[in-house]
Amino acid sequence: MILNPLHNRFWTVIGVVLVMSVLSGGLVCVGSAQAQADAQVDDPAGTIEPVAPVMTLTLEGGNGPQSMDAALKIVLLMTVLSLAPAFLVLLTSFTRIVIVLGFLRQAIGANQAPNNQIIIGLALFLTLVVMSPTLNQMNVEAIQPFMNEEMGQAEAFNKVQIPLKAFMLGQVREKDVALFLDLTDTEAPDTPEDLPMLVVIPSFVLSELKTAFQMGFVLFIPFLIIDMVVASVLMSMGMMMLPPVLISLPFKILLFVLVDGWFLVVKSLVQAFQ
């Protein structure tokens, strides 16, 4: 007796849903039929072929070459902004700094402290500190004269490469430069400043990777010694089931804090580029 009202309400709801679906299907059919009828009225012979939509991009409102030059500057600026992450990683000290900080976190054993956002943020600010003299020189010698229409685009592009190339050549190894000269079939110029960017950039990245891994190896040594000492003590005490990392982590953090590790690491990273 209790289930009968529920049963009746259930079938009532199902019936209402079916009626609504039938009505909506009929409306769709009527709409499609009306659209076909309108198309037949517009083109009774059926000779007009459907045309795909076309999207065009135009620059309007220009008032001479100056306005077009401003539009080209905007396009150039958007292109530079889109390539900014690649420039940041490949042409600055960011690669070495972020790799060393990542190795430091792994050496301590705290996988989530500090997190990736803090490491990347610290690497960005340290990169600005390291690259500030080079960026200022690029701004004074190339960017500002170009913005003030004192030099053309080609000359500004050549001028802006000089400080950046000088910074990268100060970090590369001759072995890496010789490798990419051989890979690109380029003859060795008389002076390092005449090297093409196609050779300088990959040589700089390869040198930065090697230097970062060397610094990471040096950072691992004291923490590895602590892990070995703690593991030996636990084995001598017969505590075989206790993870050594769990015991050594507080000692590694204590050692890092006592020697002011963050200060030493940041100082070493920045002074290595000077």
For residues 196 and 193, give the distance between their C-alpha atoms in angstroms, rounded to a whole number.
Answer: 8
Note the pLDDT of residue 56.
Answer: 59
More confident site: 146 or 207: 207
pLDDT tens string 176-200: 888 888 888 888 888 877 888 888 8
Average pLDDT over residues 106-111: 81
| Highest mean pLDDT of the ranges 14-18, 230-234, 251-255 | 251-255
| Residue 191 structure tokens | 């002076």
Q: What percentage of residues in the chain have a pLDDT greater than 70? A: 73
**Residues 222, 225, 226, 230, Cα dihedral to 10°:** 180
Phi/psi at 38 (nearest 5 deg)? -65, -40
pLDDT at 39: 47
In a domain, 45, yes or no: no
Q: Is residue 60 part of a domain?
A: no
User: Is residue 108 included in any domain, yes or no?
Assistant: yes
- How many angstroms separate the CA atoms of 96 and 98, rounded? 6
State the Cα–Cα distance between residues 181 and 198, nearest whole angstrom: 9
Across the range 235-256, mean pLDDT stands at: 78
pLDDT band at 71 (very low <50, low <70, confident <90, very high): low
Nearest-CA neighbor of 100 among 115, 119, 114? 119
> Which of the listed ranges 105-119, 165-179, 187-201 does the model predict with the highest average pLDDT?
165-179
* pLDDT at residue 222 tops 80: yes
Q: Going by C-beta distance under 8 Å and a sequence separation of 6 or more, which residues neighbour residue 173?
A: 203, 207, 210
Q: Which of 38-42, 70-74, 88-92, 151-155 has the lowest mean pLDDT?
A: 38-42
pLDDT of 126 > 80? The answer is yes
The closest of 212, 202, 160, 158 to 177, measured between CA atoms, is 202
pLDDT digits (tens, 9 = 90+) for 255-266: 888 888 889 988
Q: Considering the domain boundaries, does residue 182 fall inside one?
A: yes
Count CA atoms closer than 13 A to 196's CA, side-chain side. 10
The larger pLDDT score, comparing residue 80 to residue 265, is at 265
Question: How many distinct structural domains can be found in the chain?
Answer: 1
148 occurs within a structural domain:
yes
Alpha helices in 60-196, H assignment, sequence order: 65-82, 84-90, 94-108, 116-138, 144-147, 153-169, 174-183
Let me know if residue 31 belongs to a domain: no
Q: Which helix (H) or strand (E) holds 210?
A: helix 197-236
Token pair belonging to 127? 């990169």
pLDDT for residue 64 is more than 50: no
- Tell me what the mean pLDDT of segment 132-151 comes to: 81
Distances in Å between the Cα of 228 and the Cα atoms of 179, 218, 238 are 40, 16, 15
The structure's pTM equals 0.66
Choice between 260 and 74, residue whose per-residue pLDDT is larger: 260
| pLDDT score of 112 more than 70 | yes
In a domain, 19, yes or no: no
- Cα–Cα distance measured from residue 218 to residue 104, given in angstroms and rounded to the nearest whole number: 10
Q: Is 41 inside any structural domain?
A: no
How many other β-carbons are positioned within 10 Å of the β-carbon of residue 8? 10
What is the predicted pLDDT for the residue at 14? 52
Distance, CA of 142 to CA of 157 (rounded, Å)? 7
pLDDT given for residue 213 in this prediction: 92
In whole numbers, what is the pLDDT of the chain averaged over residues?
75
Which residues constitute the domain of residue 140?
A: 73-218+261-271
